[in-house]
Amino acid sequence: MARVVLGMLGLGTVGTGVVELLARHRHLTLKKVAVKSLDKDRSAMPNCPLTTDVDEIINDAEIEVLVEVMGGENPTVGYLERAIKKRKHIVTANKEVLAKHGPRLFALAKEHGVAIFFEASVAGGVPLLSTIHKGLEANEIESIMGILNGTTNFILSNMETGKSYADALKEAQDLGFAEDDPTADVDGFDVAYKLSVLSALGFGYFVRPDTIYKEGIRNITEEDMALAKEFGYRIKLLGTAAKGGSNGNQGFDVRVHPTLVPVTHPLASVSGANNGILVRGHAVGQLTLIGPGAGKLPTASAVVGDLMNLAGALKLPDFASYFQPTIEASPASAAPPDHWKCPFYLRLVVKDTPGVIGKLGTIFGAHNISIATIIQRGAEGREATVVILTHDVLGKDMNSALAELKKCDFLSSLGNAIRIFRSA
């Protein structure tokens, strides 16, 4: 096979895995790796030349492909732009840069005749992007949904043993599964970036991440976990990207929120740091993919897979036209949540006065909300917990019902309102 010379930005967990996997592919020659500091102990990789000067890679004409595994938005996006202008192909694991700057980067790559490969940016080792782009080529993709963040899935799985959110987060941080600042994971930003990338591939539009509805897992309590289990559900942070928004042609339902998933559903069996994704195509129906969503070798396997596919294709003239997905130059916006329909789980803390259930029923009825199950628990004459499972509800109807509830004297606090799984 023809030799292809690579440069790499970043040598963290994934970068180290890439170096390890490249050892068995001698035609892929890693010429130089840019790192933040040369002081770190890298004795495990004696043959990997390092530099702190990114320009040494970007300006090296012999380097044909830039592997970007440094992450983050800045300064990374600037490095990628300059590398593309120097006609280097890009293999990246960076969902944030793609979600925020994808349309521009892809246009720039087209202009300069290079390709951007990005399998590792979503779902780690699960070859989800190639499945959507090539495996389901004959399908109009209707929806993509699932568990796309291993950190929150680990925390939620851990909370099922009765731990609080704070304790489960702490444990994930101690084990290296969660960052010191866990915001990107636990507040849904990471999943939103991935949904933007998946929308680009599945629907042809990057969806602006700031328009994506994001509800994280910080408010999930031990009580919610226990109640979900009692009713036959597990709580998972699900990302959904589906066609059919209420926002015109470019409207898509793209959203991240905790979801009660029935224990019998394949997604409920996705535990720990794994990812699990349902893809629906007009001809194939529904596919389920489950596998490692993160980790050194699984993610590196996606990066090196891209490198091998790219290297094999490089000699084909005009190959980018075959390998690059068609993505619109302007991003789309996600539709607002008002028109999604799904059942809800509600946990309310109420003063135990006579007639509360009746009042709740009246309020929900007035907002087109039909109740499937309602139970009340608690000592008489004190605060009680009311748990309600509804039938399908429009987001706007639930919002107006909750707004009215909050004004009621009998409500001590709105414990939680969490969506229940519904096929996209």
CB neighbour list of residue 175: distance below 8 Å, 6 or more residues apart? none
Phi, psi (rounded to 5 degrees) for 249: -60, -35
Is residue 138 at the binding interface for a second copy, with CB under 8 A as the rule? yes
Among positions 19-38, residues that touch a second copy (CB under 8 A) are 21, 25
Is residue 135 at the binding interface for a second copy, with CB under 8 A as the rule? yes
Q: Decide whether 138 or 166 has the Cβ nearer to a second copy.
A: 138
Q: Decide whether 10 or 17 has the Cβ nearer to a second copy.
A: 17
> In this structure, are residues 291 and 275 in contact, taking their beta carbons and an 8 Å threshold?
yes
Question: At closest approach, how far in Å is the CB of 136 from a second copy?
Answer: 6
How does DSSP assign 6-36, residue by residue?
Answer: EEEE--SHHHHHHHHHHTT-TTEEEEEEE-S
Among positions 226-265, residues that touch a second copy (CB under 8 A) are 264
Among positions 268-287, residues that touch a second copy (CB under 8 A) are 269, 281, 283-287
The structure tokens 């226990």 sit at 226
| Cα–Cα nearest to 148, from 183, 185, 181, 115 | 185
Question: At closest approach, how far in Å is the CB of 58 from a second copy?
Answer: 25
Write down the catalytic residue from 85, 194, 315, 359: 194
DSSP bridge pairs for 253? 242
Is residue 121 at the binding interface for a second copy, with CB under 8 A as the rule? no
Q: Quote the tokens at residue 281.
A: 């195509």
Q: Decide whether 145 or 303 has the Cβ nearer to a second copy.
A: 303
Phi, psi (rounded to 5 degrees) for 280: -115, 125
DSSP bridge pairs for 350? 384, 411
Length of the chain: 424
Is residue 161 at the binding interface for a second copy, with CB under 8 A as the rule? no
Among positions 312-371, residues that touch a second copy (CB under 8 A) are 312-313, 315-319, 322
Is residue 291 at the binding interface for a second copy, with CB under 8 A as the rule? yes
- Indicate the DSSP class of residue 260: E
Question: At closest approach, how far in Å is the CB of 12 from a second copy?
Answer: 17
Using CB under 8 A, pick the residue from 107, 308, 357, 394 that binds a second copy. Answer: 308
| Cα–Cα nearest to 131, from 206, 204, 198 | 198
Q: What DSSP element (H or E) covers 234?
A: strand 233-243
Q: Decide whether 263 or 403 has the Cβ nearer to a second copy.
A: 263
Number of residues that bind a second copy (CB under 8 A): 49
Q: Which stretch binds a second copy (CB under 8 A): 62-70, 181-189, 298-306, 330-338?
A: 298-306
The structure tokens 């028109």 sit at 339
Question: At closest approach, how far in Å is the CB of 347 from a second copy?
Answer: 28
User: Count of H helices and E strands in the chain?
Assistant: 14, 18
Q: Which stretch binds a second copy (CB under 8 A): 104-112, 120-128, 180-188, 363-371?
A: 120-128
Q: Which stretch binds a second copy (CB under 8 A): 143-151, 290-298, 335-343, 374-382?
A: 290-298
Phi, psi (rounded to 5 degrees) for 324: -90, 130
| Cα–Cα nearest to 122, from 183, 190, 33 | 190
Is residue 146 at the binding interface for a second copy, with CB under 8 A as the rule? no
Q: Decide whether 135 or 361 has the Cβ nearer to a second copy.
A: 135
Q: Decide whether 95 or 101 has the Cβ nearer to a second copy.
A: 95
Cα Rg for the chain, rounded, in angstroms? Answer: 24
Would residue 194 show up in a list of annotated catalytic residues for this protein?
yes
Is residue 15 at the binding interface for a second copy, with CB under 8 A as the rule? no
> In this structure, are residues 58 and 84 in contact, taking their beta carbons and an 8 Å threshold?
no
**Cis geometry, peptide bond prior to residue 75 (ω within 30 degrees of 0):** yes
Q: Decide whether 293 or 331 has the Cβ nearer to a second copy.
A: 293
CA 143-214-342 angle, to 5 degrees, is: 55
Among positions 382-411, residues that touch a second copy (CB under 8 A) are none
Interface ranges with a second copy (CB under 8 A): 17, 21, 25, 119, 125-127, 130-131, 134-139, 264, 266, 269, 281, 283-292, 295, 297-298, 300-305, 307-309, 312-313, 315-319, 322
Which residues are part of the catalytic machinery? 194
